[in-house]
Amino acid sequence: MTKEEIENIPLPLSDEDYIRLNEAGEADCHIWNYVSRDVKKAYDDLLINYFDLNYPQNQISIDDMIWYPPAPGHEEYAVKTYLSKIKLPLSDKDYKKVHELLERIPDLWLPDISDELDKAYDKKIADIYKLLWPDKDIMYEEMEYISPEERDKILDERKRLDASARAKLRDFKPDITQDRLDMLKAKAEKIGRWALYVLEETEYWDPLSLGKLTEKRLNYIQTSNSNWLTENRSSYPPSGAEEVLRSELTYSIRQHQWAIDDDTAFKLESDRSDGTPIEKQIMELMLLKEKFEYPLNTENLRAQQLAERYMIGEKLQKVEREILGI
């Protein structure tokens, strides 16, 4: 449209001029400087009208509306036009809009519109998951759309829970330190292999129970297990009784109330090898416990028992809630 044509658009605004103005505005946003106030108002009224036909009873402002042509059945064309003009990197607002349009038009295929937009949208979903669950190894195919509002709500709730948990643990002191654990290991080596085995397995699978393992307790463990071995060794093949005993001791420790899962146990052991003291790890586990995010050994959990605890009002840990689907 020429400057003269723009300045002399007749009213009421026709559908043809409504389309021409949109095309001209897309080509050069400065054309609106030459459009009269009455024509601009008529254009906005038509934009709202055609948008409302596609989104009845919507509650959004004109600034958030996308342009729709007057002819029925052209919704997909309008959406593709809108999507093709989204600027990258993808903002939260545009990320929400892309999702909304993909939901509205299931046949829409983003790579056909913009391969860069498709990759940016996928990356936004993945980035939100990594932000919320950095330690989880989740395939993209398993990820679902999470809105920016939901993301922020989860992060705010975590901050609140973290602050509350830290306040509760302000005066908490782990009942064992790295120095004390090292001394206890030295004593366990002298007491016997079963005392040392139980101590090391407890460190690996249930760090919160380490404080219960006193020198007296380790002596009892060594004596009772040595006696069992003496009484039962002949009933097994060579070294068979020892293998059975080790297996039963590990199983027993993994049945503890606050035994941790495989991934957490492996990570904590790796961190200890790098110099992280046991008291720091216990504090981190206590924080997770207070935030109801403790990495419990799920092999111990039974849905019926969890449901009974939930029904009487007990607050469950995250993995327990996941088992119940709540």
For residue 71, name the pLDDT band (cuts at 50, 70, 90): low
Q: How far is CA 307 from the centre of its chain?
A: 24
* Global confidence as pTM: 0.62
What stretch of H or E contains 131?
Answer: helix 115-132
Look at 100 and 253; give whichever has higher pLDDT: 253
Report DSSP letters for 226-262, one per residue.
Answer: HHHHHHHGGGSSTTHHHHHHHHHHHHHHHTSTTPBPH
pLDDT at 78: 72
pLDDT, tens only, 260-306: 999 999 999 999 999 999 999 999 999 999 999 999 999 989 999 99
Rg (C-alpha) for the chain, rounded Å, is 32
pLDDT, tens only, 182-191: 999 999 999 9
User: What is the arithmetic mean of pLDDT over 208-218?
Assistant: 96
Mean residue pLDDT of the chain comes to 91
Q: How many residues does the chain have?
A: 326
For residue 128, name the pLDDT band (cuts at 50, 70, 90): very high
pLDDT, tens only, 145-193: 999 999 999 999 989 988 999 999 999 999 999 999 999 999 999 999 9
Report the sign of the C-alpha dihedral through residues 28, 34, 39, 40, in that order.
positive
Residue 4 has pLDDT above 90, yes or no: no
How large a percentage of the chain has pLDDT more than 70?
A: 98
